[in-house]
Structure 1
Amino acid sequence: MYRLARNTRAPEDVYAASLERLGLGYPLWCPEPDASGEPQIADVGLLHEGKFIRLLHLDTSAPEKKVTRFKPPFENIAPLPPNTVMVTRTDDRLSANHYCSHGVRSKDIRASLTVPVDASTSLNLQADYTCREAQGAALTLQTNADAEQTLPNKSLNSYILQNFSAWREYATEVLNLDVKAEDLVVVIGWVKTAPDWTVTAFGVDKHAKTSLSLGAKIASWVGVSLSGAFSTSIKTSSIQRRAPTHSHESQHLDGVVHRNQCVFMKRVRVKERPVFPRKIVAGAGYDDYSPWRRPAQDALEAAGRGVEDERQYAEDCWKEYISDGRIRDRLDITQDYIFEISTATVAVVSDDHVDILLCGQHIVDFASWLRTVQPRVEVDNHGVGSLDMGDIIRYQQEHRFTNPPITPADTAVWPAISRNGAGSLKDSQILLGPTGTKACPVAYKSVVFGDVEQMLINQSTSVSLSTDGKLLAAANRNTIIIWRLEDGLTVQRLERDGHTDTIRQIAFSPDGQHVVSGADDTLALVWDTKTGDVVHRLEGHEQAVYCAVFSPDGTQIATRSRNSELRMWSATSGELLYVITDLKSTESDNFLFSPDGSQLAARSDTSRKDTVVAVLDCRTGGRIATLRKQDICCMAFSPSGNRIATGSGDGSACVWDAASGKALLELKEHTALVWEVAFSPDGGEVATASGDGTVVTCNPHTGERRFTFRVESVRGWGKEQVQAMAYSPRNEFIACGAYDGCVRVWNRRTSAFVATFSGHTRPVGRVMFTPDGWDILSYGNDDVVRLWSVRDALRLS
């Protein structure tokens, strides 16, 4: 059987191959910036001995990031198309911790290494790791690491392919570098930390040494000496590096921690079809996978030569590669897979594509695994091949939500965890295109909560998302179901000794440990999410409890009944603190806490012509201010809590001073009722959603209109009423839910259309972003909640 040689080599290869399985990008053995500069998104460069070397920077609008080391610099950079590089902070922020590959653990074993820094000084570096596999790696961060990534899109790949030849020519002809096409990479993301990291590689070739630049010094790194209780479990040598400036004082300049050490990098890589095919299948014969006919096969058959001759032909072609024995980059393996199963002449792959496909799985033999999963390959008219993104996303969704495993660790945390009533994948669509009116449908499977065995969710206020975004709760008649969003499993049912009538509203406590519910049985109950027990029974309302909410600090609970009586309770003891009875309203559920929990705004409308919003002191129930305007329908606090925005039935909106009740600004942007109003996360923008089919964003200080997002019906019925709207808490998105059952997303900074999500069969009454800003939960009048991914839409666009 013909096999790929598996000899381990240099520490940078072992380190990268081991830690890239974390799904954070390509790990750099040398995170410190090269003399060519600090790695930036939109860099073109090459990887050499674990270090990234910048050759040029593509974004000419950021001259401070231009590469100036090489003479002459690359000047004729083709302009980037609009919205090609949209950089955003990601949810991949790493905390100060140990990050180890499979088989490497932090133990009480000590690995010491003396590192020569100069003629008179040396550092004694230590690490507490043990490796129980043939190879492994560990990264230790003393300081949190930040992450940035460009939003994925196909236009960036097109731009790279159009200009790649010019970059390669510059590297080879002008800089006189001996590089292949696949040696060049484009940076699309990074994770950076302060200069206080430690990297360790286990299983390196005992004869392998690498020369690394340490500022102005060159240090030769050698193996470590091992001692400790678990030393017998380590069978391979290891090499360790620490940051070039490893002192607490050096991290801080002007009180700021400077994070310029790139520990992980995400890349786009281009590779041309090799002259001879490579069958890099670890643990399988080279002829075990034959999805396409190898070159010269026809000639061999015509000459009457058999399989053994063909085998010898292949071995001769691959002899030089096999004897090298270097550990393969996952992008290289994926590109060879593309060539094997398609007619592509060029393969384009990114770390992002591979990470999506892996779904966080630990795969040792990635080459064989690829051929087992067999993701489809897309080849365009120019012979450019890439993994079919739609196929990858479907695989990822099915891996997460189709019969996910229930582990002992799961049952230890959630004893009632079950697949019964779990979220399930249902056919839907994403409409993609340059604008909403020119968007074309793409098949997509969204996760649906609430439609199993006709379990229909009561109403939009009976849906709640935990503050950390990990749990979704919804009421079905008099029962509350809690799901885990990462895999859709049902983790709890709150019903024992509970409500005897329909639940009207539920809400998580800020820490996610409790849920409060109000129901038609005049009760409000506080539940323990882990045990399913009722912790407090809040009794006293004489009519149905339409609203029940925790304060943002989790110390108080506010409830409001059908007769508009408002009660404030202690969340700790369940004790009644005070009662307010003078706020008469036909909409009992309309009140909200300020972000810091110090104030409560409650609507009172004895008549449509005399509507007020009372701003109350949460500690005493005393009135702070009164906002008075006809037919107020909705309201929202600013992030700072000092302003309140309201929307009215006449199509207008107002911004008020929360302390005085003074109207600061009136916005007249709509011709129909304003269903929802919201401030942006930074407070620098206010948005209104209306029945006239538009969402309008304005400056909350000057009233200047920024953008108008028009919602045209996907059914060709003209404009659609917009009943729900939300800002992304971390990214530049704004989403709305409309009467046609669709959720639409735009970039609020540029007004660019992102996607339309189609799946609900009735109007959408509520939309919520998850805390990371990438996923949207929408509740429809079809009584189900759907989960959508903005990231998936961008990957497919």
Structure 2
Amino acid sequence: MYRLARNTRAPEDVYAASLERLGLGYPLWCPEPDASGEPQIADVGLLHEGKFVRLLHLDTSAPEKKVTRFKPPFENIAPLPPNTIMITRTDDRLSANHYCSHGVRSKDIRASVTVPVDASTSLNLQADYTCREAQGAALTLQTNADAEQTLPNKSLNSYILQNFAAWREYATEVLNLDVKAEDLVVVIGWVKTAPDWTVTAFGVDKHAKTSLSLGAKIANWVGVSLSGAFSTSMRTSSIQRRAPRHPHQSQHLDGVVHRNQCVFMKRMRVKERPVFPRKIVAGAGYDDYSPWRRPAQDALEAAGRGVEDERRYAEDCWKEYISDGRIRDRLDITQDYIFETSTATVAVVSDDQVDILLCGQHIVDFASWLRTVQPRVEVDNHGVGSLDMGDIIRYQQEHRFTNPPITPADTAVWPAISRNGAGSLKDSQILLGPTGTKACPVAYKSVVFGDVEQMPIHLPESVSLSTDGMLLAAATENTIAVWRLQDGLTVQRLKKDGHTDTVEQITFSPDGQYIVSGAEDKLALVWDVKTGDVVHRLEGHEASVTYVAFSPDGTQIATRSSDSELRMWSASSGELLYAIRDLKSRLSTAILFSPDGFRLAARSDATIENTSVVVLDCRTGSRIATLRKQYIHCMAFSPSGDRIATGSTDGNACVWDVASGKALLELKEHTALVEEVAFSPDGGEVATASNDGTVVTCDSRTGERRFTFRVESIRGKDEEWVRAVAYSPKNEFIACGADNGCVHVWNRRTGAFVATFQGHSDSVRRVMFTPDGWDILSHGDDDVVRMWSIRDALRLS
């Protein structure tokens, strides 16, 4: 039976409904671990008065995560199928800050920095805040928060549905809990911090107006923007909780910050079709329902109806929608939408799916918005309904890359920002399945930068990604375009007073503020990315400048020309530091800085057969070592900079000690040219990509082979040449580009096939991971760059 909401709302409901719009997951009013233990991914439990209670843990391979408060038969839990739960640490780390809901506004902020006796920096904040909504919430973190998640997929859905009845029976029959199916949730992600948080719910009394003052001492404050609020004075309209500081929950133990306080949780939930159907309603308080903010508001004001008339009208409209005075969960609203628009008897939905669909938008009336967007619902043969993930992803892509808005804030940072030449969505597909040979195509739209006719990107070396992963630059003829990856907009074109001939290579400076380019006009230019101006003209080469590189600390620039001359320049002044003219090379003039910035590797050869890599001291140009081997074709530094891997045209690869020039390993894994070599992020593995159609990974210390990844031919060739290989910097993925126009991805730890991305019409010559490890950029001989999402592939699998 539906009735009007209580005057006093449960603070956990107000808090969750207000802050879940941040898109970080479901906010927990009680982040501290319950007696059942710290929340873990793959937990099954329930939410009770703002806290999460663990009932059982699904990963039987992790007995240390078993729930010990209750006594479930751990060995009788149906085991998770392989690769169903892939836990990854994400880049969604939250900084120490104030996080507030829509409507919480600051009138004034005052800050001062102090240095206490222990020399750790603290920041004292004072501010006045007003909550302009009938409800609101704020979370204050004094310590950074970490995030982990696993991506929902069809295998996980199937596993949950097959076993959900048993979990519910355990909760009701064994534990004697009065729970409905929708009360149980599966944890698929979390955000955790140290026990120094503060949570506040504003507007618990729906008729009260809220005006609050802020006073806080935030420790270890680094690079924080000031926003949000928390209450230090109690009012009838607000309730506040602080982290309980028990001895066993000390923030620092043995010098380590223990982050076990779950401030946000991502859930997956199952709900059965109700006997008596309900209408889906707004996702927040009564005054957030659409009549309160409807477009006709101006007309009402013109007719002389004031704010109180509006409020009464909105309240009347809510009488039939509010049940038991509780503010409704977005998952509940979404599941009711599934029942309303399909024949499903069971609805499965997750916070991750809702967040993808929202695309970071602030939606007050989520229910009405859902009906407007009308995402498709997929119902399987068993009557299980869920949002069509392919449809959600397409909506997300179109929202980001189809005519994205250009705001005043954008033009303030990028005066030349434009949709002209921006990245656009093009038809492609992803092959998904248990193995590469059994994979099936799924329609997908990838983002494409460049144009075959108007803006061709000819060379793989003429593409560069900024260190922070925010910007992509590529050269076409004598112009360099710079795009913003978040929406594909063109933010800069570098051409004025620039090159007069084809640009051969470009690269970003480590801080992303500059680009150095080398061209056939014998010039190397340093550009200011923001202004588009040429900062330095590095003149003196007598042949085309084919390779350019910034040192890792951004203080030096190395350039090399087609006549093999190497020059080192000061990045700040453009002054020539030294030149080396005896590094003759017939095939390649590649240069490479070591990650520590102390060394520079340059390929050199006397003849095609008699090749070597010369290792130089960056400061003086003096030789440290010479790595001699026949037919060296490619090279890569280890992350620590103490070793170099080389690949040769005879199919062999070597790992060398940089200091001595001694060969540590010789890897004879291929029958054809090794196109590219790469070290794993931890340096423990080396990968070689070859024209024999394989990528081989080996232990970089012992040479033991780990996996051989074979690229299947799709054009009737005996072997699909593999042209490029790259490791994900954060996750367990390895990717390669091949002559079949595809980007292939595997799990490097297990050897499992992940996905194949199809879209290029010609050979893929280069692959690059973004810094978070989830997106791949590929350049092909079709003269375009495409961007692919591994997250999307896993969600669709």
Show the counterpart of 2:584.
584
Query: Would you say the 8 A contact 2:128–2:214 is kept in 1?
Result: no
Matched letter for residue 166 of structure 2 = A
* Aligned pairs (5 A) from 1:358-437: 358-437=358-437
Query: Would you say the 8 A contact 1:613–1:628 is kept in 2?
Result: yes
Matched letter for residue 715 of structure 2 = R
* Bigger mean CA deviation after superposition, 70-79 or 367-376: 70-79
Q: 1:198, 1:442 → 2: CA distance?
A: 45
Q: 2:549, 2:4 → 1: CA distance?
A: 61
* Displacement of 1:653: 0.5
Query: 3-state DSSP class of the match of 1:629?
Result: strand
Q: 1:191, 1:787 → 2: CA distance?
A: 28
Query: Would you say the 8 A contact 1:696–1:706 is kept in 2?
Result: yes
* Cα distance per residue 1:136-180 (max 9 Å; x no partner): 111111111111111332111110100000110111111111111
Query: Would you say the 8 A contact 2:548–2:591 is kept in 1?
Result: no
* Cα distance per residue 1:68-91 (max 9 Å; x no partner): 102465652001111111111112
* Displacement of 1:131: 1.8
Cα 1:415–1:76, aligned 2, differ >3 Å: closer, same or farther?
A: same
Query: Would you say the 8 A contact 1:563–1:588 is kept in 2?
Result: no
* Cα distance per residue 1:436-466 (max 9 Å; x no partner): 1111111100000001762101310000000
Matched letter for residue 166 of structure 1 = A
Show the counterpart of 2:25.
25
Q: 1:514, 1:248 → 2: CA distance?
A: 49
Would you say 1:633 and 2:633 are equivalent positions?
Answer: yes
Q: 2:178, 2:59 → 1: CA distance?
A: 25
Unaligned runs of 5+ in 1: 111-124, 209-222, 286-317
* Aligned pairs (5 A) from 1:192-341: 192-205=192-205, 237-245=237-245, 250-282=250-282, 283=289, 322-341=322-341
Q: Percent identity?
A: 86
* Displacement of 1:11: 1.1
Cα 1:608–1:184, aligned 2, differ >3 Å: closer, same or farther?
A: same
Show the counterpart of 2:299.
none
What is the RMSD of the two structures over their aligned residues, measured on CA atoms? 2.5
Cα 1:582–1:249, aligned 2, differ >3 Å: closer, same or farther?
A: farther
Would you say 1:787 and 2:787 are equivalent positions?
Answer: yes
Unaligned runs of 5+ in 2: 111-124, 216-228, 283-288, 292-317
* Cα distance per residue 1:491-523 (max 9 Å; x no partner): 000001001111000000000000000011110
Cα 1:571–1:366, aligned 2, differ >3 Å: closer, same or farther?
A: same
Query: Would you say the 8 A contact 2:194–2:260 is kept in 1?
Result: yes
Matched letter for residue 725 of structure 1 = V
Q: 1:355, 1:72 → 2: CA distance?
A: 33
Q: 1:561, 1:185 → 2: CA distance?
A: 61
Show the counterpart of 1:92.
92
* Displacement of 1:719: 2.8
Query: Would you say the 8 A contact 1:675–1:724 is kept in 2?
Result: yes
Query: Would you say the 8 A contact 2:135–2:206 is kept in 1?
Result: no
Show the counterpart of 2:754.
754
Q: 1:72, 1:194 → 2: CA distance?
A: 29
Q: 1:97, 1:246 → 2: CA distance?
A: 23
Show the counterpart of 1:164.
164
Query: Would you say the 8 A contact 2:496–2:533 is kept in 1?
Result: yes
Matched letter for residue 655 of structure 1 = V
Q: 1:449, 1:680 → 2: CA distance?
A: 28
* Cα distance per residue 1:203-230 (max 9 Å; x no partner): 113799xxxxxxxxxxxxxx997699x9
* Displacement of 1:249: 10
Q: 1:246, 1:23 → 2: CA distance?
A: 30
Q: 2:249, 2:83 → 1: CA distance?
A: 39
Matched letter for residue 745 of structure 2 = V
Show the counterpart of 2:117.
none
Would you say 1:499 and 2:494 are equivalent positions?
Answer: no
* Displacement of 1:588: 4.2
* Displacement of 1:715: 3.2
Query: Would you say the 8 A contact 2:134–2:207 is kept in 1?
Result: no
Q: 2:212, 2:22 → 1: CA distance?
A: 27
Q: 1:341, 1:613 → 2: CA distance?
A: 65
Query: Would you say the 8 A contact 2:469–2:771 is kept in 1?
Result: yes
* Displacement of 1:10: 1.1
Q: 2:721, 2:624 → 1: CA distance?
A: 35
* Displacement of 1:577: 0.2
* Cα distance per residue 1:466-486 (max 9 Å; x no partner): 000000000011010000000
Q: 2:173, 2:270 → 1: CA distance?
A: 19
Show the counterpart of 1:620.
620
Would you say 1:443 and 2:446 are equivalent positions?
Answer: no
Query: Would you say the 8 A contact 2:630–2:648 is kept in 1?
Result: yes
* Cα distance per residue 1:719-769 (max 9 Å; x no partner): 310001100000000000000110000000011101000000010000000
Q: 1:750, 1:76 → 2: CA distance?
A: 26
* Displacement of 1:102: 1.5
Q: 1:421, 1:785 → 2: CA distance?
A: 13
Show the counterpart of 1:310.
none
Show the counterpart of 1:772.
772
Q: 1:192, 1:793 → 2: CA distance?
A: 27
Cα 1:787–1:8, aligned 2, differ >3 Å: closer, same or farther?
A: farther
Matched letter for residue 720 of structure 1 = E
Query: Would you say the 8 A contact 2:134–2:206 is kept in 1?
Result: no
Q: 2:269, 2:72 → 1: CA distance?
A: 24
Query: 3-state DSSP class of the match of 1:322?
Result: coil
Q: 1:88, 1:109 → 2: CA distance?
A: 37
Show the counterpart of 1:601.
601
Cα 1:515–1:701, aligned 2, differ >3 Å: closer, same or farther?
A: same
Show the counterpart of 1:353.
353
Q: 1:721, 1:461 → 2: CA distance?
A: 19
Give the number of equivalent residue pairs.
734
